[in-house]
Structure 1
Amino acid sequence: MPFRPVEPEKLSTAVIHQIEGLILRGILRPGERLPSERELSERLGVSRPSLREAIASLQDDGLLSSKAGAGVFVADVLGSAFSPALTRLFARNDEAVFDYLSFRRDMEGLAAERAARLGSDTDLQVIDAVYRKMQSAHDKIAPEAEAQLDAEFHLAIIEASHNVIMLHMMRSMYQLLREGVFYNRQIMFKQRTTRDTLLEQHAKINDALQARDPIGARAAVVAHLGYVEQSLRDDIKAQSNEAIARQRFEHEQSRGSK
């Protein structure tokens, strides 16, 4: 017969599985500090030796890291999606920006569609709460905070899609965005008219999600990122035009001095 005795799971193994699940689902985020050993052992209902064994195993796997005197942290594993050499190449190539936006348009359109269908009521409440914060930052004319909340809004949609592969892949992409590898988000928030348009677009995305309209949510994301792409193309063109104008001006000045 193919049956074997059931063996009880070690406590440390159960702890490992729980922490792995929290990291996999994006609930525990890179760089986040775990509670103290005493607090965590009490929350999990396990002894400190069992907890230490689990933490050591997760550190060996590269999912957790410890800092002397500071505690245990979720390892910063997002950047591993791209090598440093490839990241530098992205930063030097304008076309990479538009390939990035095209990729985002496809992935986030799908994520919005999934979030409208599969997201829980709490997922949608989180998205709405981030949008309200973005609206508040807009009213206070705080472009830096508004740009940061823009990223949080899109990540909340991806989290609500409940696809862990998409979640970690897009978090990695957003890490590069935060580092200014693809473009500086604050460029999009320089002018009041642009900021007003962006807020309206996020409102349409949020409204479609709250109405659980998958097609409308996807269309709103696609329209928004299409606007971002065109705005960046216009900015690059304007910089090129200004460089040519300066050359022409300097040439005219040199002619006039003769």
Structure 2
Amino acid sequence: MSTSGGPDDVRDVVVVGAGQAGLALGYYLTRGGGDALLLERAERVGARWAERWDSLRLFTPARYDALPGAAFPADPWSYPGKDEVAAYLEDYATRFDLPVRTGAEVTRLEGAAGDFRLQLAGGETIRAGRVVVATGAFGRLWTPSFTARLGAGVEQAHTDDYRRPDLLPAGPVLVVGGANSGRQIALELARAGRAVHLSEGARLRELPQRVLGRDLFWWLTTTRAIHAPPTSLVGRRLSANEPVIGTPRRALRAAGVTFHSRAAAADRGTVQFVDGHSLRPAAVV
């Protein structure tokens, strides 16, 4: 795995991002004899996974988590944790000697096909005939504007900063966002004995982890629904919005989670919701 480069680097293909998609593309490019370079902003491949909260696990079984050429090293029907994923990605890059350059943040991309120029944070420029942007959908953190008015007495942690329940102060915890991450964290907090409140906007579709004794992804692959074209009825349904998998509202209610409508404003430690209710949390995730 290469971690060096020069100011006059010229490549046939540059892939920005060495996560799952970037590594898979790098595998095929190098197997085909192409002159490629993968640029990864983090100092290690897989670092973004390693930095997530301690209990994070995939909701896809290991048999569906492999990249081309290397099975995921776990029981096929187990759900790998975030550290297993991080280790797998780093090992994958090393095993196939992929041309990954770590600590390389791309700050500017310009030019056109045949003559792209990528500028790195240190000022270096790399030229490429083709560029693939594989940075993923979650590279830029987003925090609701109302949190700026919570006050210093309320501890705040984005999901990128949250690690485990005992690191949050005593008192009620408000989790803002009812998609997969929000629900998983809310359930973990509730099971740890915390008073948990979950604020969510639009209701998301819920899918069970298992159907008739089989994992959801077994059904999606066996029926080939997961391969449906995006313009088909099934494809439009699957891509309409990200569903919540395996963490239904009933499980959260059973654990003691209190649901609220969308959080709209805050003032000196009190959060107001769009339905008129309010809450004074000790921490907000």
Larger CA Rg, structure 1 vs 2: 1
Higher helix content, 1 or 2: 1
Structure with greater proportional strand content: 2
TM-score (norm 2): 0.26
